[in-house]
Amino acid sequence: MTARIGVVTFPGSLDDRDTQRAIRLAGAEPVALWHKDKDLKQVDAVVLPGGFSYGDYLRAGAISRFSPVMETVIEQARAGMPVLGICNGFQVLTEAHLLPGGMLGNDHLHFICRDQKLRVENAETAWTVDYEAGQEIHIPLKNMDGRYVADRYTLDKLEAEGRVVFRYLDFNPNGSLNDIAGITNEVGNVVGLMPHPEHAVEPLIGSGRTDGLPFFTSILKKLVNA
């Protein structure tokens, strides 16, 4: 039976179609989910894609967090459903308190778009089992509000529990504390990161690399073995 992975579209989402394509390339069935619909259509996992939901008004991800679909996503995530938040989706996850900390504007106050080198710190989450801990990858990055922040207690807890999933290498593009590019919740089913793995799944499109494809093959492996 083919795994079904939902991709939520908010007003201002930019990368929902790209994410659906990445899911399809990995061998799963992408399912379009609309932000006003609480029904998740019996999907096995959910991706909150990148973009500028609601124009990033008020604060990035703050309005989307109250979309009807998020009520169900929050409920299901807490029950164990795998959820991935990419860029704006990561911001939504922090606003929904599915992940700790928050996102602020880049420390240089400019939008940034580049191919970013990362180190995989945790290869045991639902979305990273096809990577190896310590593996270095390149994933495209594009954001304006990508600076991950948290209080010292939260940062120490994330580090001690191995919940930093990705870390920026060579260059910190937005001033994120501890060079954090992505984190997970306590049980590893919810992951958020700022770079865009859906733009690195085919050698002829996007970055020209396929370093992002294991995100989507990882979740298939996790669902099959669940």
Which positions are catalytic?
Answer: 87, 196, 198
Tokens of 53: 């939901």
How many Cβ atoms from other residues are within 10 Å of residue 200's Cβ? 25
CB 99 within 8 A of CB 69: no
- Decide: 87 and 14 in contact? Cβ < 8 Å: no
Side chain identity at 142, as an amino acid letter?
K
Contacts of 79 (CB under 8 A, 6+ apart): none
Count of positions (residues) in the chain: 226
Q: In angstroms, rounded to a whole number, what is the distance separating the alpha carbons of residues 45 and 84? A: 8
